[in-house]
């Protein structure tokens, strides 16, 4: 019987190898989608945090009031970064954009001073911006508040659509991944069905039979997850070399969670599929195994 067990174990090794390889490929595809989703969210956040609000100051505002207004805006929770643009700085930017100087026409600088600030992504919504504008317009030193309203509306709508599409793809792919991994494990366990039944026939308990196979499933799932994770990291490094902008959007926290999720998912599905297969073959009659 020992020889039978050894020969059966040897026959099962190629199945385990193909099982690990198959699970790794499927987890790699799922992890790749996860990385795309993370970057899509970061890209949406990047665009949102580049929306600029300009607060134009009144011509007759004194220096003390302008400093007070700058500090007021700087302390607001929705401000990510800000810059105080003096009249001369506004003129320099105007000329840098290729516009003609007005010195031959006007004696004074018609461009107002302004406070330009960028918002945190959670505040880039039509309602939030309307409330921010209403609050700032109450200040006596503010002449006008401008921001790209159409851009904000289109940006949020596009981010919402892309997020919904990626969510649907992720759900469908998760279901496909679970089914594929489950079938791959079942196929690997099919070659062990006679070994399982033989152990049962000589008096081994269900726990004694399933324990080493469940342990093997955990090991295989871990190996598959790590292989998939290594492939994703190689792809991420390669993509960041080709597109350096991706490096600026890298989120170590989410990438870490993605890696842990891939390994855990590989372990859980491998363990559950293996245990179900063992129980299934234990319940089957000997004739049904053929």
The pLDDT tens digits for 221-238 are 899 899 999 999 998 888
What would the two tokens of residue 281 be?
A: 């073959």
Residues 6+ apart with CB under 8 A from 178: 269
Return the SS3 of 84. strand
Confidence grade of residue 15 (pLDDT, cut at 50, 70, 90): low
Query: What pLDDT shows up at residue 9?
Result: 43
Q: What is the pLDDT of residues 163-196, one digit of tens each?
A: 788 778 878 877 877 777 777 776 766 667 666 7
Return the SS3 of 146. strand
Residues 262, 225 contacting (CB under 8 angstroms): yes
Return the half-sphere exposure (C-beta side, CA atoms, 13 A cut-off) of residue 181: 31
Residue corresponding to tokens 């500090």:
71
Residue 223's closest CA among 15, 6, 7, 27? 27
Strand ranges inside the chain, DSSP E: 52-57, 79-85, 114-119, 142-146
Query: What pLDDT shows up at residue 55?
Result: 92
CA separation for the pair 24, 266 (Å, rounded): 8
Query: What pLDDT shows up at residue 197?
Result: 67
Sign of the Cα pseudo-torsion (161, 49, 247, 38, in order): negative
CA separation for the pair 82, 254 (Å, rounded): 28
**Residue 7 in this model has a pLDDT that exceeds 70:** no
Pick the range with the lowest mean pLDDT from 108-117, 220-229, 255-264. Answer: 108-117
Over residues 122-129, mean pLDDT: 87
CA separation for the pair 158, 147 (Å, rounded): 18
Confidence grade of residue 159 (pLDDT, cut at 50, 70, 90): confident
Return the half-sphere exposure (C-beta side, CA atoms, 13 A cut-off) of residue 11: 13
Residues 6+ apart with CB under 8 A from 225: 24, 27, 262, 263, 264, 265, 266, 267
């Amino acid at each position: 019987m020992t020889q039978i067990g050894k020969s059966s174990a040897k026959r099962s090794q190629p199945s385990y190898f193909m099982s690990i390889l198959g699970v790794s490929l499927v987890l790699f595809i799922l992890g790749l989608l996860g990385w795309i989703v993370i970057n899509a969210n970061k890209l949406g956040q990047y665009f949102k945090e580049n929306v600029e609000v300009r607060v134009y100051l009144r011509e007759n505002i004194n220096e003390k009031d302008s400093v007070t207004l700058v500090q007021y805006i700087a302390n607001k929770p929705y401000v990510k970064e800000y810059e105080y643009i003096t009249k001369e700085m506004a003129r320099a930017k105007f000329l840098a954009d290729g516009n003609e100087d007005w010195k031959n026409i006007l004696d004074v600088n018609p461009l107002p001073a302004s406070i330009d600030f960028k918002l945190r992504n959670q505040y880039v919504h039509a309602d939030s911006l309307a409330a921010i504008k209403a609050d700032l317009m109450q200040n006596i030193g503010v002449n006008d508040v401008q921001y790209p309203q159409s851009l904000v509306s289109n940006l949020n709508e596009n981010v919402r659509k892309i997020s919904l599409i990626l969510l649907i793809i992720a759900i469908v792919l998760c279901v496909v991944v679970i089914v594929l991994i489950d079938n791959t494990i079942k196929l690997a366990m099919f070659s062990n069905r006679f070994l399982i039944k033989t152990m049962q026939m000589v008096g081994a308990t269900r726990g004694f039979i399933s324990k080493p196979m469940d342990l093997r499933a955990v090991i295989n799932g871990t190996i598959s997850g790590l292989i998939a994770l290594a492939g994703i990291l190689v792809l991420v490094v390669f993509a960041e070399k080709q597109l350096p902008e991706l490096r600026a959007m890298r989120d170590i926290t989410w990438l870490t969670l993605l890696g842990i999720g891939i390994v855990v998912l590989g372990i859980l599905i491998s363990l559950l599929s293996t245990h179900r297969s063992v129980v299934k073959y234990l319940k089957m009659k000997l004739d049904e195994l053929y």
